[in-house]
Amino acid sequence: MRSSGPFFTIAFAVALSVAALAPGAVTVARAETAQAAPSDNTTGAATPGNVASVDPNAAQQKGLAGKAIDKVREVAKSAGDILSRVPCRAPKGGAKTFGSLPHVAAKLADGKPVLIIAFGSSSTQGYGSTAPEYTYPNRLAAQLRRHYPGADITVLNRGKGGEDAPEMMKRLQTEVIDAKPDMVIWQVGTNAVLRNLDPAETAKLVEDGVGRIQAAGADLVLVDPQYSPAVNAKAENASRMVKLLGRVAELRHVGFFPRFEVMRDWHEGQSLPFESFVISDGLHMNDWGYACFAQLLGDDIIRSVGQIRLGINVPGNVQAYRPM
């Protein structure tokens, strides 16, 4: 068995961290034991003897041990995340800018519950997955909870097969806005392409919906159509739809996840056959496809939130995810 994989690296790091922790932890334990010895001062008042018995290095040693423990926990969390990931890589070049997610970042910073709504059609609902836990919203929820173990994160699935912007706009208020989400991930455009709807009309509806979601105070990420044989059969409409949705994201300053380009890279850049990520209907993703999609989307969300928390926020007028 090779020992150079990510699991070995993480396991080795955990071992090193534990080893580094041990001496400091022993010192702290001894110091705390000494301080816990019985005292003649039954009133609890300070006495010169008590002050003299305190190890002046105890606080420093305890701080070092605490940092070591935090490091072990961080490494363990990373190990757990690696073991839960599928073998999936982002397109070469990656995302230039995903977008700002100030509401989600603020809620996480304040320790408040975070509500994310996945809004869309059958690929949000999860058609093609073999079990509910393998849909992209559930995969995304699991990844975010692993990364933020102390946070209360809920991802609601509001996908409904066969719909596109006209039908989605009818339930936008009741199923999305009324729930007061902190973030909405809106997957749209695929069925419009398949139904030969005018991409420009779809884009107008989406822009109106984006404005309503923003007015409700939620962060937003748009997700464009999938790259698959059924969609590619309508290549001209698909190309226009992808460009127009990207333009809406740019104009409205919201996040944009270029699923079409990501999936095209799987097939053309990484030489994966369609059947490795699309089911036999030539349209919907399989378990691996949903997992990789959720994984890359989750990575971008985590990266964006991290930048905000570090004060490296994206300017408000440059918040759209730039395709490769």
92 lies in a domain? no
pLDDT at 59: 56
Q: What is the C-alpha to C-alpha distance for residues 278 and 282, in angstroms, rounded to an integer?
A: 6
Higher-confidence position of 59 and 106: 106
> What is the domain range of residue 67?
6-84
Domain boundary among 33, 49, 84: 84
Could you tell me the CA-to-CA distances from 220 to 199, 260, 262 in Å, in that order? 20, 18, 19
321 lies in a domain? no
Indicate if 63 and 184 belong to the same structural domain: no
68 lies in a domain? yes
pLDDT at 82: 52
Indicate if 230 and 172 belong to the same structural domain: yes
Indicate if 127 and 256 belong to the same structural domain: yes
Residues 31-54 have pLDDT tens digits of: 333 333 333 333 334 434 343 444
Indicate if 79 and 165 belong to the same structural domain: no
What is the count of structural domains for the chain?
Answer: 2
Residue 155 pairs in a beta bridge with 116
Indicate if 124 and 68 belong to the same structural domain: no
pLDDT range class, residue 114, cuts 50, 70, 90: very high
Are 260 and 227 spatial neighbours (Cβ–Cβ below 8 Å)? yes
Phi, psi of 123 (to 5 degrees): -75, -15
Indicate if 55 and 107 belong to the same structural domain: no
Higher-confidence position of 25 and 264: 264
What does the DSSP 8-state code read for residue 187?
A: E
